[in-house]
Amino acid sequence: MTTSPKTMMAYEHQSLLREIDTYKDTVSAIVAFIHECRWDQNNRVVNGTIPFGVGRLMRNAHDDQLTPDIVIQRHPTQGVVAEVKTTFPPDNTNNRRDEVFQQLKSYDVELFGWWSLNGQVERHDIVLLTHDSHVVDATDHFVGLAGKEIGRFERNLAFVGFYRSEQHHSYITLRKHSGDLLDHEFSSKLRRSVPIEARHIEQQQKKFYDGCPPIPYLLSLMWTFLFPTYAEGQQRDARRGFTPVEVTSDQVTTDLQRYYGFEPDAHGNRGIPRGEWIEEALEALVSFRMAQRGNGPRRFVIRYKGLTGDVLERFGRLFHERREKESQRRRAPTRQPTLFDNL
């Protein structure tokens, strides 16, 4: 039984671009927030001694693992944990909005994993970073939680919105909508809004946060900028029209963390992007016949060649077709073939 291609959903490139925009905006907001937290207003420099982690592993008193999107220790005895929800759920169907506050509430305890000898700080703030158009919804929902357990916070909970604005320059602006922070000066500055030129943020070359990016975006980045470095000096297979490049997903992960993400360290930062996202992307290449599995776990041979046209669109289309085929396979009724099927 074959599936008619007519039943496939048509590929919509704009929808992929929107998804990538959301992902990129989240990364930009994280970079902007970290930048502001480390900014030394008196000396007008970034204070490089302020430690931070993206997707850093923290623990509570019960030794449960927690991974806030951002952890920053602005002071030896004070820190900030922030969760980024670019899109705050539009309603509370399936308690989706409540879940956000449950997650924030889980940070409202003594946390371990700070940059101190005992891994603790005296106090920390909790921040919800969300798109500016959603911050009112988030605040209102929190007000509505008054009297409930997830609406009661012992520590400061601040709602910070971010938005991209375009006039003559492109800016990412951070603005605290409500709540307070331990550092009143910093809190007041955020309340008045902080615009940061987008070019300053983009030059940091951070492309990932602790959430899996759209796979076609990840593949475009790898194929356009990373794989050419692996193909250097490798013999091109003229007959097959590509350069076979042996890689391991660990190697690709390490390189992407080094050049476009956050490197792991011995102090609890696990490294972004995560190995499993890279493996998923490499598996996608195998299904596109642009790579094959190598000898051994997490080994791949990339069939590297320069691609013409819009590489992102090509990967978007291939990925969409793959997903459609998989979903059709899942939908198709399984039936034992009979002797007469081919007659």
Strand 52-54 versus strand 45-46 pairing type: unpaired
Nearer to another protein, 45 or 332 (CB): 45
Does residue 24 interact with another protein by CB under 8 A? yes
Give the binding range for another protein (CB under 8 A) out of 66-74, 137-145, 184-192, 218-226. Answer: 218-226
Distance separating alpha carbons of residues 282 and 200, to the nearest angstrom: 31
The DSSP secondary-structure symbol of 149 reads G
Residues 300/292, Cβ–Cβ less than 8 Å: yes
Does residue 168 interact with another protein by CB under 8 A? yes
Residues 60/112, Cβ–Cβ less than 8 Å: yes
Residues 190/173, Cβ–Cβ less than 8 Å: no
Q: Is the peptide bond before 273 cis (omega within 30 degrees of 0)?
A: yes
Does residue 121 interact with another protein by CB under 8 A? no
Does residue 228 interact with another protein by CB under 8 A? yes
# binding residues, another protein (CB under 8 A): 42
Closest to 219 measured CA to CA, from 289, 306, 303, 284: 284
Least distance to another protein, CB of residue 35, Å:
6
Does residue 149 interact with another protein by CB under 8 A? no
Q: Which of residues 48-77 bind another protein (CB under 8 A)?
A: 48
Does residue 237 interact with another protein by CB under 8 A? no
CA separation, residue 76 to residues 108, 138, 183, 189 (Å): 19, 30, 13, 21
Strand 291-293 versus strand 194-197 pairing type: unpaired
Residues 223/312, Cβ–Cβ less than 8 Å: no
Residues 281/218, Cβ–Cβ less than 8 Å: yes
DSSP element (H, E) containing 141:
helix 135-144
Residues 203/6, Cβ–Cβ less than 8 Å: no
Site string for another protein, 257-286 (x = CB under 8 A): -xx---------------------------
Nearer to another protein, 17 or 286 (CB): 17
Tokens of 296: 């051994």
Does residue 333 interact with another protein by CB under 8 A? no
Quote the Cα angle for 142-143-147, to 5°: 95
Among 5, 90, 144, 306, binds another protein (CB under 8 A): 306
Nearer to another protein, 24 or 134 (CB): 24
Does residue 313 interact with another protein by CB under 8 A? yes
Among 95, 170, 188, 292, binds another protein (CB under 8 A): 170
Does residue 41 interact with another protein by CB under 8 A? no
Residues 277/218, Cβ–Cβ less than 8 Å: yes
Give the binding range for another protein (CB under 8 A) out of 102-110, 160-168, 245-253, 289-297. Answer: 160-168
Among 226, 284, 290, 302, binds another protein (CB under 8 A): 226
Give the binding range for another protein (CB under 8 A) out of 1-9, 119-127, 187-195, 213-221. Answer: 213-221
Does residue 21 interact with another protein by CB under 8 A? yes
Nearer to another protein, 48 or 296 (CB): 48
Which positions touch another protein (CB under 8 A)? 17, 20-21, 24, 35, 44-46, 48, 164, 166, 168-170, 197-200, 202-205, 217, 220-221, 224-226, 228-229, 231-232, 258-259, 306-313
